[in-house]
Structure 1
Amino acid sequence: MHSFLGRWAGRRAPNWFERLLPASLLARFLLVMTLGVLASQLIGNLIWASYLKGKSEQEVSQASSHVASGAASAIQYFQTLPPNFRHLVIEQMREMGGTRFFISTNDSEIHLHSIAPKPLSNLVIEQIRHQLSAQLPQLLDLKVDFSWPEELTVANDGTRIAELPDHWIKDTLLIQPRPAPVLVIQAQIEQGQWLYLATLMPDPFFLDNSNPLPLERWVLQFATLLTVLLLSWVVARWITGPLAALSNAAEAFGKGESPILPETGSVEFVRTAQAFAAMRERIVRYLEDREKLFTAISHDLRTPITRLKLRTEMLDDDAARAEFHEDLDELDMMVKGALQSVKDSDIHENHTSISLDAMLGRMVRDARLAGHEVAFTRCGLRVHGKPLALKRAIGNLLDNALYYGHSAEISVFEGVGKRVIVIRDHGPGVPDDALETLFDPYVRLEHGRHSNSHGHGLGLGIARNIIQAHGGELVLNNHHEGGLQAVIMLPAD
């Protein structure tokens, strides 16, 4: 069992199936519970309907056989009587209060208003007709049908059963308060003589069993489904609530905040909150140690580098002195670049709502005062983040555009749940195979080294780290009209 679950867990769901599923865990849980309950109810109802149908058909078949036997005996009895005595016997039976059947004689068949056909009523009619035909083969004709009492005619003159005296039918037929369908058997016992028998089935309301799934059962099923969904929603909120809190805390911590997960709820979540707190403390300690380490490196390396530079001045060989100076300058540049990378990434400030118009507008004015050409249109949008950090990240990208493209365009768009900032230059662009390497430390293309000899090749990496720390993304690509464009995607405020 465990191996099967492991193999199934390792398989990836088809893409079309993933697209059909809702995004949130709560919605997926409710969807699975809904489908599960509906499937179980459907299967249960089918089984229950099949059972009730078989049971009803068996009971109706037994009742039909009993009624057919009584009707056959009554028909045989009246066949033995002389025609003149039949009316006398019928009147005596009515005065005595009736029998199982309401009986009358007619000179022709009476047309009946039949009830709407149903499987159980058709079963009764077919079985009684078959049994009477088998027991009484001498009958000239036989009619079996059901009719409602208010439409039931009992004589050729159109007399209805409701017009008869109550003591004739009160022990035989059920008219009030809830009418039951009346079974009518008309047997032609001789030429011009029809025997009319009307009775009720042993279960007068047997037709109610024709529908094994009445409206009341569907209402009960719907109420059960709503109850299960409500309880599932409560349980799902218990499960997904801590997961959402953990996700929000992890996202906030990734942006430089110090969230604290409450250690309440289930044992599993308390352990998760404790593990998250311990992880947060270790990471904070690591960042602090890293900052101290690079501060110590800055102090410890600058002194020997300076001493080495002084000592190279004492060398008599000009070529050797030049090579030493070149190596020391390169080493000094690498130390400064590493320190700058740490300093620019570790900006300790609080998150706040930032107006992009105000921040970008100041950067554009400064660039124009320096003699650069920058195009910018106000957007009226805001983001949430660290102002100095975002300014440094966008400033690095703008500086690159001005250094390598001589002019820049800044555009801001509103996406679905995000803000998109596009910084485009009008330079030569970048080869497509070199786009992915631009974020690597100390990577500078030939055009960049000629345009800006003082750079270290760390600006793009610093900008991407800051933007990613804000939950955003930085993408570089070549514009179809020429030049390189940097696309910054930040979460909406």
Structure 2
Amino acid sequence: MLKRVPERLGRIWPQSLLGRLMLVMAAGLLVTQLAASVIWASQLRAKAQVEAQSASQYMAHGASGAIRFFRSLPPNYRLLLIQQLREMGGTRFFVNLNHAYVPVQQIAPHPLASSVLATVGATLKSDLPHSPSFHLAFAWPEQLVVSEDGVHLSDLPDAWVQHILLLQPDPAPILVIQTEIEPGNWLYMAALMPNPYFLSSNDPLAWDRLSLQGLSLAVVLLLCLLVVRWITRPLAALSDAAAAFGQGQDDRAPPLPETGSREFINTARAFSAMRERIQRYIEDRERLFISISHDLRTPITRLKLRSELLDDEALRNEFEEDLDELDMMVKGALQCVKDSDIHENPAEVKLDALLGRLVRSARLAGHEVGYRDSSITVRAKPLALKRAIGNLLDNALYYGDRAEISVSSGPDVVAIAVRDHGPGVPDDAFASLFDPYVRLAHGREQNDAGMGLGLGIARSVIEAHGGQLVLENHPEGGLNATIRLPA
């Protein structure tokens, strides 16, 4: 299970620099927002707790004074006073008298509400130590019953409660205090906290707060996206220029713009200078090999003519063999330079036509080559691609009795496989197969005129197309050479 975690993370991790920077910045912003929200929420809760404790004590002292006042009145005057208070608009408390305790449907349990009830109860006990027990609860207005006969708060006239309690448009929880002031007479008091919405004021997940944080996060991410795109756009141009230069299309690639940050301007100038130096080096190398080949052919020809004048036939034959070997090495070096740098424009190449010509030529020479049409087209340099596949096919025919060519395509790659039915390649020989003039013993026996340059030339051509040449032994025997080109 733990081994799959890096693989899953690798799938989520973007491949582009823009995606990685955006993911890191978004994750950093989210973590920062989360940490800030947690700290802010803890401070908000602590502040709300302190304010609620202070408000609870204030409410409890007011309630204890009202209880003492109603307890001091004769029972006959209490109802008259309550009626007068209602007609005047009431006081802080909505007051009612009952002959028994009125059950109250409480709000859902809430830590802050429980703390307020505990503080109010403790303060009332402290102010009225000789009073019987107090029944405290928070209730919603639409569910609140105010009398023993089941009258709801909503059934009362608006003038009795509209200046005391909040019934609309956004009801607030109501604190209800009930106590028995004397046997058979219960005092019912209902009031709002100084902050009526104290339960929701400390909620960090309130919709208004979440919407504000989401809006700020979206603005920051948008600005980050614009900045990151502005930073990475020149890097994309640099990548395209490097890819075009590596595929031999430097003459078609526009020059890098020297705009943007100072670091990118320096990088663009350094890349342009490097590109010019490499281009001059390639041109100088080609001229050098041509000059060496031309200069060496004259003395080689002269030595061959002089060797014909030797009387000793054995010595003459040795001279001629050495001169032929030297001439072959010069021609091979020149061929390696020219064939790996074929100057032509890329075009749409139908593989069936190109491979069909190679297969027909091989069959006319008496070789057995298998191939099935694929109807696949690639964009490449036709002559260069033909030379690369031809070199692989020649090697397959030299090393094996017959060869097979297959073509397949995927979402991003076109694969051309050339397989021989020879003895294969030892594992320790794969590392040196692309080196110049390196040939296996079996190949030398089959083709003593070869120079060991075909694989190196083929790989150079394929890499110039942005592809890859992979050599591996086939499970059923023989060597399998696979050309992978961009689709």
TM-score exceeds 0.5: yes
Paired AA for residue 445 in structure 1: L
The residue aligned with 2:26 is 34
Asked if residue 72 in structure 1 is aligned to residue 67 in structure 2, the reply is no
**Gap runs ≥5 in structure 1:** 1-13
Cα shift at 1:166: 4.3
The residue aligned with 1:60 is 52
The residue aligned with 1:205 is 197
Cα shift at 1:388: 0.6
Equivalent-residue separation in structure 2 for 1:477 and 1:160 (angstroms): 88
Q: 2:356 aligns with which of 355, 361, 385?
A: 361
Paired AA for residue 263 in structure 1: P
Once the two structures are superposed, the pairs formed by residues 140-219 of structure 1 within 5 Å of their partners are: 140-219=132-211
Does the residue aligned with 1:435 lie in a helix, a strand or coil? helix
Question: CA offsets, 1:352-410, max 9 Å, x none?
Answer: 11111110011111222222221110111122211111111111111122233232111
Q: 1:43 aligns with which of 32, 35, 39?
A: 35
Asked if residue 98 in structure 1 is aligned to residue 93 in structure 2, the reply is no
Does the residue aligned with 1:309 lie in a helix, a strand or coil? helix
Equivalent-residue separation in structure 1 for 2:281 and 2:338 (angstroms): 15
Cα shift at 1:15: 8.1
Cα shift at 1:92: 4.0
Does the residue aligned with 1:443 lie in a helix, a strand or coil? coil
Asked if residue 269 in structure 1 is aligned to residue 264 in structure 2, the reply is yes
Question: CA offsets, 1:127-169, max 9 Å, x none?
Answer: 1111112221222231111223333333323333344444443
Equivalent-residue separation in structure 1 for 2:86 and 2:399 (angstroms): 118
The residue aligned with 2:302 is 307
Q: 2:254 aligns with which of 228, 247, 260?
A: 260
Cα shift at 1:329: 1.8
The residue aligned with 1:289 is 284
Cα shift at 1:240: 2.1
Paired AA for residue 307 in structure 1: R
Equivalent-residue separation in structure 1 for 2:432 and 2:335 (angstroms): 20
The residue aligned with 1:466 is 461
1:246–1:261 contact (8 Å) kept in structure 2: no
Once the two structures are superposed, the pairs formed by residues 477-488 of structure 1 within 5 Å of their partners are: 477-488=472-483
Paired AA for residue 117 in structure 1: P
Equivalent-residue separation in structure 1 for 2:416 and 2:19 (angstroms): 33
The residue aligned with 1:345 is 340
Once the two structures are superposed, the pairs formed by residues 296-445 of structure 1 within 5 Å of their partners are: 296-445=291-440
Q: Which one is further off, 324-333 or 342-351?
A: 324-333
Equivalent-residue separation in structure 1 for 2:232 and 2:343 (angstroms): 32
Question: CA offsets, 1:304-332, max 9 Å, x none?
Answer: 11111222222333333333222222211
Question: CA offsets, 1:253-282, max 9 Å, x none?
Answer: 111112223314313333333322222222
Q: Which one is further off, 317-326 or 291-300?
A: 317-326
Equivalent-residue separation in structure 1 for 2:441 and 2:276 (angstroms): 43
Does the residue aligned with 2:165 lie in a helix, a strand or coil? coil
Equivalent-residue separation in structure 2 for 1:197 and 1:436 (angstroms): 94
The aligned length equals 479
Asked if residue 278 in structure 1 is aligned to residue 273 in structure 2, the reply is yes
The residue aligned with 2:442 is 447
Asked if residue 226 in structure 1 is aligned to residue 221 in structure 2, the reply is no
1:109–1:194 contact (8 Å) kept in structure 2: yes
Question: CA offsets, 1:439-466, max 9 Å, x none?
Answer: 2211222222221122111111111111
Paired AA for residue 431 in structure 2: E
Equivalent-residue separation in structure 2 for 1:320 and 1:149 (angstroms): 124
Distance 1:379 1:192, change over 3 A: same
Does the residue aligned with 1:477 lie in a helix, a strand or coil? strand
Paired AA for residue 320 in structure 1: L
**Gap runs ≥5 in structure 2:** 1-5
1:140–1:190 contact (8 Å) kept in structure 2: no
2:70–2:78 contact (8 Å) kept in structure 1: yes
Q: Which one is further off, 310-319 or 254-263?
A: 310-319
2:469–2:482 contact (8 Å) kept in structure 1: yes
Does the residue aligned with 1:457 lie in a helix, a strand or coil? coil
Cα shift at 1:207: 2.5
Distance 1:428 1:191, change over 3 A: same
1:108–1:192 contact (8 Å) kept in structure 2: yes
Distance 1:165 1:448, change over 3 A: closer
Distance 1:246 1:83, change over 3 A: same
Does the residue aligned with 2:375 lie in a helix, a strand or coil? coil
TM-score by length of 1: 0.91
TM-score by length of 2: 0.92
Paired AA for residue 286 in structure 1: Y
Distance 1:180 1:488, change over 3 A: closer
The two structures, once aligned, show a CA RMSD in angstroms of 2.1
Cα shift at 1:45: 0.8
The residue aligned with 2:3 is none
Q: 1:132 aligns with which of 124, 132, 147?
A: 124
Q: Which one is further off, 411-420 or 91-100?
A: 91-100
2:71–2:181 contact (8 Å) kept in structure 1: yes
Equivalent-residue separation in structure 2 for 1:481 and 1:94 (angstroms): 103
Equivalent-residue separation in structure 1 for 2:75 and 2:292 (angstroms): 131
Does the residue aligned with 1:348 lie in a helix, a strand or coil? coil
The residue aligned with 1:117 is 109
Paired AA for residue 304 in structure 1: P
2:41–2:202 contact (8 Å) kept in structure 1: no
Question: CA offsets, 1:20-46, max 9 Å, x none?
Answer: 522111111111011111101101111
1:150–1:161 contact (8 Å) kept in structure 2: yes
Paired AA for residue 274 in structure 1: R
